[in-house]
Structures are given as C-alpha cells and as structure tokens.
Amino acid sequence: MTVPDRPIARYIDHTLLRPDATEADVRRLLAEAADHRFAAVCLPPIYAALAAEALQGTTVAVCTVIGFPLGYVHPEVRKAESRIAVAEGARELDTVLDVSWLKSGEDRRVLDDLAGWVTALRAEHVGLILKVILETALLTDEEKVRGARLVAESGADFVKTSTGFAKGGATVEDVALLAQTVGGKIGIKASGGIRDFGTALAMIGAGATRLGTSSGVLILTEAQEQDA
C-alpha cells in the first residue's frame, strides 16, 4: 500500500476551473482550502486577486492557469498573461504546452516557448512554482516522453498530465511514464478524474507529487475514515 510522505491535503491543488463557476463557488473553494490546508487552490485568472486576499496568512498557495485550456497562445501572450496573474497574487502557474507544435515535431519551438516563459518569470519574480500541462489524452507515449523531457529541460518545476477539458484525464500508467522520464528532476502533477482517496493513492504510488482535483474534501473525508 502506498504511504504518502506528507499529509494527503498537502498533495492537493483544490481546483475549480468550470467555465460556469460563480464567485460564490470560488469563495466556497477558498474557504474549504483554508479550512483543510490544501497545498494550493487552482482557479481562473479572474479570481487570482480574490484568492490572494482570502488566503492571506494561510499556507495555501494561489495557483491559476495560463494559455488554458488549449495552449494556443503566442509566447509573448503566455508571458503577458502570467505577469498579470502574478501581479494579482498568483504564486503558482499552470500553463498548457503547445500540443500542435509537439505533435508536429517542432520540439525546438516548444522548448523555446517554455524556456523563454520560465526564464522571463524567474528573472522578474522569486519563488514562483511553474507547471506545464501536456494534455496526455491527446498524445502517444512517444509524444508524452518527448513532452516531459522538454518540460524538464525548460526549467519548469512540474510536468502535469491534463487540463480536465480533453477526452481523458490522468492515468496511473501516464503518471508512471512521466515519473520514469523525468527521473525525479521535476515534480509530477496528476490532474483530471481524481475523485476518490483510492485513486489519489494510486497516483501518488505511480510517482505523482501533486494532485489537481475538485474532490479534495471528499478525498480527505475518505482518508480520515480509513484512519479511524
């Protein structure tokens, strides 16, 4: 059985990225995150400032998404969107790799885009956590490996499986493949379809060091019930 190396809450990015989410939904997410001490909240950029204010004085980081969910953004737009998010209080950024370039074999363009993004933000801000989403459901295993290697080479902190908006989310097999590929050089964020404690444990066992899920409270409840 997998034994997490820290409390399960500290693996979780408590997530709300539905396009129909209201401000009331966001405020509920923030209250849950503060109460349960999740690693981060992950929410739309328009709510970064609200989250930063609500979570001030807590250990919960504010994470938002960049170039989301398709990754079809000009490299300068990726940087500009990120700068706005950081100015409004985000300290973790999850951006989507340009899947079209990756599938077209344009590895140099992918790397230049991501490395330029990482370098620019690192030069301007200390302590940011930068994650890159591959959208594994759209990739072959060979493309997943290439993508993960490019993310690691770019200097980002995490490679992430999924946006939650494609035809599939994280799988144990994909997490294990990414973990094997990056060899501990960067973190692995499993995201998409993680809705119970058993699945969370399986992802951690496969190598995930962070979990993106909208079911964080349920996962914690199930974990507590198993410990009782």
Residues serving a catalytic function are 94, 160, 189
Angle of helix 197-206 relative to helix 172-182, nearest 10 degrees? 30
C-alpha pair distances (Å), 141 with each of 96, 105, 158, 167, 198: 18, 14, 18, 16, 25
**Beta strand pairing status for 187-191 and 158-160?**
parallel
Q: What is the C-alpha separation between 209 and 186, in angstroms, rounded?
A: 9
Burial degree of 65 (CB within 10 A; 0-12, 13-18, 19+): buried
Q: What is the C-alpha separation between 164 and 14, in angstroms, rounded?
A: 13
